[in-house]
Amino acid sequence: MLLEERLAQSQLCFQRLTEEIHQVIVGHRQTIRGVLICLLCGGHVLLEGVPGLGKTLLVKTLGQLLGLRFARIQFTPDLMPADILGTNILMEDESGRRYFEFAHGPIFAHIVLADEINRATPKTQSALLEAMQERGVTVGSRTYSLEEPFIVLATQNPIEMEGTYPLPEAQVDRFFFKIVLSYPTQDELDEILVRRLNTIESALPPRPAVTREELLEARRLVAQIPIAEPLRHYIVRLVAATHPQAEEAPPLVQEYVEYGASPRAGIALLWGAKANAFLDGQLNVRTEDIRQIFLPALRHRIIRNFRGEAEGIAVEEILQQVLEKTPEV
Amino acid sequence: MESTYLTIEHEVIRRRRRLNTLQGLRTGVMIALIATLIYLAAVYLGFLEMVRPWWILVAFNLLAAWIGARHGRRRSIALQNDLYRVDRALGLDEKLATIYELRQRSGDTDFLMALYQRLQGLVIDPVKALPYPRSERRAWLGLGSLALAASLFLGLWFVGIPPFNLMNWLSSLSASGSSSIELLRLQKDPMNDPLAAAEERHHSNASEDSRAQTGAEGSSHRSSSPCLEPEGQSRVTEDQASASQCDATAGRGSPDSSPTASDGGSRSDLQRLSQELSELKQQLERGELSADELQKRLEQLAEGAPSPEVQQTLRQAGQSQNREEMRRQLEEALSQLQRSLQEGRAASNSNTAQNSSSSADSGENTPASSSAGGDQAAQGESQPTASQSDSQGEGASPSASEQEATGSGENSSQDQAASSGGQPGTEEHSGNNSGSESDEASSEGEASQSAGDADRASGDGTGQEPGQDARTTSQGRLPPGDKDLLINQGLLPRDAKMLESLLTKGIPMDLVGQSSEGTPTLRLNLERVEALLALRDLPPELRNLVRAYFLAIAGE
């Protein structure tokens, strides 16, 4: 099959997937697009929003529509790593011989919802984050690989600080995107209410819209999408501009940023732009693709200094100036 | 499919080369123009000499422009960046840049073919695709402004207008224009009395009666005045004496005399005093005043007398025992006043005539000479000092030769005539009364030449008048009077046409004697200089230049 046909077919699948998601989720278009980009890039997503915005519903819907195994982990302070990864269980066979059998934890799903990840202890958080990074679980002397596609959608509640364990910056950096959910508009809220007139629960889609094989094919196509050298250099300039000691750093970065983005940010920009171009039916990465995914890709990778935090300068404001001041060529 | 991209690529390359060529041209022109302006500034300030011929500068700028353009055209091109710029300008979603990338990689042929397909039939506008940068446009605008300013500067410079002193030049132009008009008017005036004209201008209360009376009485004195001897006399000797006397009576030479600026006032005082004396004399004759009243009036008039002689005469009249004696003394005082007035007018006229006549360049001969009814010799723009000197055998001094060299040339014949007729001693009075001396015009013309000319020519050894401290004595060469020489020596600004005419047409020198070697002894009359400056209404800076010039030539 010609490339264009393959691309067209794959893009059509994801268009259908998007439409199906919107059948369940009202609004959150940018959130959904971000999640799909992460899905196509194999990256993990950190969703931040107040309770009741539909984060869990989104993930459950996505799992249903993709025909993938879905697991939800509710993080609590007493959650142990074994509760996430699994543990060895002592088993006895018919002959009475005892052996240990590894019982897989919820991490072994394709789509994992780590709800309120900041409520678990750092030890538990690290167990999850290790699995996210390594795409495998090591228990005892054995390593268990996680089946592709594997995506973790972690959520955080920004208003609850009591009894929480904020993720360390090094751990937050492992997430591909950080997507901030906003309140629905009045029209969207009205739409939600209309849909819940007759049932308090949302009706999940009956069948998958995209198979696992189609998703893997889409990932292969995304990987092949070319990017021109000037755009690659543009990504480099953007990442460099987030460092306060850089010459091209804008004033807000120089004034309020302690540490800039890591090379992971550049990788996220590169792959995210490819996935965004794919979802728009393009054959190549464009400048607009980079600009559209710039905020979700970098907002969790910038560390403000004390003055920035004290004055309440938003990271988005800093990144917006980076985007405006950095020349395209 | 590939051809579309190749066509577009070719157009982009060609457009970029054109832009680079223009940028290189701009850079070359800018560098050459700045270098040229620096060079011209150095020439203007006198550090360097102007290159010959002048078109070498133009050729240099053209060569620099050609080199810059050539260098720009050969500069390497970052094609992918230009293709990206074209993508952004035309909204091509970075297809061109991506195709270029894929072509360089020699891989991903599927995507390459697909992108070629999407470019099929696309035609781009190179100008719209790669517009001329705004920074370059601003640079050209700045370059054009700089070239325009430089052209204006050079234009003013080449036509002789000082670019950095334009306003002063314009002021001096207007001043010289009005002075020229004034000069023409005075020279055409039959009375040819610039001093009187200045007096009219500065003293609005000069009455017709006083002038008429002055004129009537003056004419009676004029004929007998040693200042205006008819032709045939040895003008040098007598005129020197009378010049001294006239100067004294006019109060110019006297140390007490007020500076030039007050001469007009003193002459009005003289006229007023003369009028009062005339009235007093008439009242005396008619017996309208008692002796005491007469004495008191005479004492009052004596206190306001401009000169000691008049004062003494008036006091004697006041002490007279009889009316007849008193009347005689009054007449004597009137005569003295008239002589003073005549001397002042003659000196002013002579200076005026000298100024108007002696210009080296000249041609400025005096309309006065023509208007004087044949006073051409008088006005005799009398350069012919040399001829005078020669004819008089005074040893044409080198200065005379210089005078000749400076040349007005017009007066040579007149000078000869003058010299044969003997020069009027009162050169300083010469320009003055030409109207009445038409026959003596030539000689008077000689007379009217600068006192310096007459002095030089005649070599008369008139002694200095006592008390003439204001005068400066110098001996030796006459001033050059050459306009170009003065200008090149920096003594004159380029545009002081009036100043040049003032300097070259009248040298306020008095011949006070002759050395043993036969060279004339000259005496610089600074008061005459001041009179001329006041008359011409020269700006202060030019007045200082004139003063400095005369002081310099006088050896001060």
pLDDT of residue B468: 41
pLDDT of residue B89: 92
Buried b (16+ CB within 10 A) or exposed e, B520-546: bbbbbbbbbbbbbbbbbebbeebbebb
pLDDT digits (tens, 9 = 90+) for A232-245: 999 999 999 999 99
pLDDT of residue B86: 93
State CA B137 to chain mean position distance. Answer: 46
How many C-beta atoms surround the C-beta of residue A253 within 10 A?
A: 23
Task: Suggest the residue from B99, B101, B117 to mutate for an interface test with chain A (most A CBs closer than 10 A).
Answer: B101
pLDDT of residue B221: 45
The upper half-sphere exposure of residue A313, i.e. CA atoms within 13 Å in the direction of its Cβ, equals 21
Backbone angles phi, psi at A211, to 5 degrees: -80, 170
| pLDDT of A84 strictly over 60 | yes
Q: Which amino acid is at B205?
A: N
Name the residue among B183, B195, B239, B504 with its Cα closest to residue B349: B195
Gap between the Cα atoms of B509 and B454, Å rounded: 9
**A286 contact residues in B (CB cutoff 8 A):** 93-94
Structure tokens at A37: 């980009």
**A2 contact residues in B (CB cutoff 8 A):** 110
| Average pLDDT of the segment spanning B417-444 | 39
| pLDDT of B223 strictly over 50 | no
State chain A's mean pLDDT as an integer. Answer: 90
pLDDT tier at B235, thresholds 50, 70, 90:
very low
Q: How distant, in Å, are the alpha carbons of B274, B286, B297, B325, B443 from that of B290? A: 21, 11, 11, 15, 49
Nearest-Cα residue of chain A relative to residue B115: A283
pLDDT of residue A324: 95
Answer with the residue of higher pLDDT: B209 or A116.
A116
| Average pLDDT of the segment spanning A28-33 | 92
Output the CA torsion sign for B60, B62, B65, B69: negative
pLDDT of residue B514: 64
% of residues, chain B, pLDDT over 70: 46
State chain B's mean pLDDT as an integer. Answer: 66
Answer with the residue of higher pLDDT: B469 or A263.
A263
pLDDT digits (tens, 9 = 90+) for B288-332: 778 788 888 888 888 888 778 888 888 888 887 777 888 888 888
pLDDT digits (tens, 9 = 90+) for A294-308: 999 999 999 999 999
Cβ within 8 Å, pair B110-A3: yes
Q: Residue A226: is the preceding peptide bond cis (ω within 30°)?
A: no
| pLDDT of B356 strictly over 60 | no
What DSSP letter does each residue of B56-75 carry, written as one string?
HHHHHHHHHHHHHHHHHHHS
Residue among A3, A225, A287 whose CB faces B88 most closely: A287
Q: Residue B539: is the preceding peptide bond cis (ω within 30°)?
A: no
State CA A119 to chain mean position distance. Answer: 18
Backbone angles phi, psi at A143, to 5 degrees: -115, 130
**A284 contact residues in B (CB cutoff 8 A):** 93-95, 98, 111, 115
Query: If DSSP states are collapsed to H, E and C, what string results for B475-516?
Result: ECCCCCCCHHHHHHCCCCCCCCHHHHHHHHHCCCEEEEEECC
Gap between the Cα atoms of B184 and B550, Å rounded: 24
Which chain A residues in 207-246 lie under 8 Å from chain B, judged by CB atoms?
Answer: 224-231
Cβ within 8 Å, pair A284-B100: no
**B130 contact residues in A (CB cutoff 8 A):** none
Gap between the Cα atoms of B301 and B518, Å rounded: 47
> Which of A73-77, A198-202, A252-256, B368-372 is least confident?
B368-372
pLDDT digits (tens, 9 = 90+) for B58-95: 899 999 999 999 999 999 999 999 999 999 999 999 99
> Which of A55-69, A75-89, A193-207, B364-378 is least confident?
B364-378
Relative to beta strand A142-145, strand A136-139 is antiparallel
pLDDT of residue B90: 92
pLDDT of residue B183: 53
Cβ within 8 Å, pair B84-A230: yes
Q: Which residues contact B122 (CB under 8 A, 6 or more apart)?
A: B4, B8, B92
Question: Would you give the end-to-end CA distance of chain A in angstroms?
Answer: 36
Of the ranges A71-75, A140-144, B315-319, B530-534, the best mean pLDDT one: A71-75
pLDDT tier at B460, thresholds 50, 70, 90:
very low
Cβ within 8 Å, pair A226-B98: yes
pLDDT of residue B175: 66
pLDDT of residue B409: 39
pLDDT tier at A41, thresholds 50, 70, 90:
very high
State CA B189 to chain mean position distance. Answer: 23
Nearest-Cα residue of chain A relative to residue B82: A329
| pLDDT of A29 strictly over 80 | yes
pLDDT tier at B371, thresholds 50, 70, 90:
very low
| pLDDT of B483 strictly over 50 | no
pLDDT digits (tens, 9 = 90+) for A99-136: 888 888 899 999 999 998 888 888 888 888 888 888 88
> Which of A148-157, A223-232, A282-291, B395-404 is least confident?
B395-404
| Average pLDDT of the segment spanning B10-36 | 93
Nearest-Cα residue of chain A relative to residue B119: A283
Cβ within 8 Å, pair B93-A329: no
Answer with the residue of higher pLDDT: B529 or B365.
B529
Query: Count of residues for chain B?
Result: 556
| Average pLDDT of the segment spanning B389-400 | 39
pLDDT of residue B376: 40
Cβ within 8 Å, pair B81-A227: no
pLDDT of residue B210: 55
| pLDDT of B196 strictly over 60 | no
Query: Count of residues for chain A?
Result: 329
pLDDT tier at B412, thresholds 50, 70, 90:
very low
pLDDT of residue B549: 79
| pLDDT of B407 strictly over 70 | no
Residue among B85, B93, B108 whose CB faces A282 most closely: B93
pLDDT of residue B425: 37
The interface pTM score, or ipTM, of the predicted complex is 0.87
Cβ within 8 Å, pair B88-A329: yes
Name the residue among A230, A20, A246, A325 with its Cα closest to residue B100: A230
pLDDT of residue B159: 73
pLDDT of residue B500: 55
Gap between the Cα atoms of B133 and B469, Å rounded: 76
Backbone angles phi, psi at A155, to 5 degrees: -120, 155
pLDDT digits (tens, 9 = 90+) for B113-134: 899 988 888 888 888 889 888 9
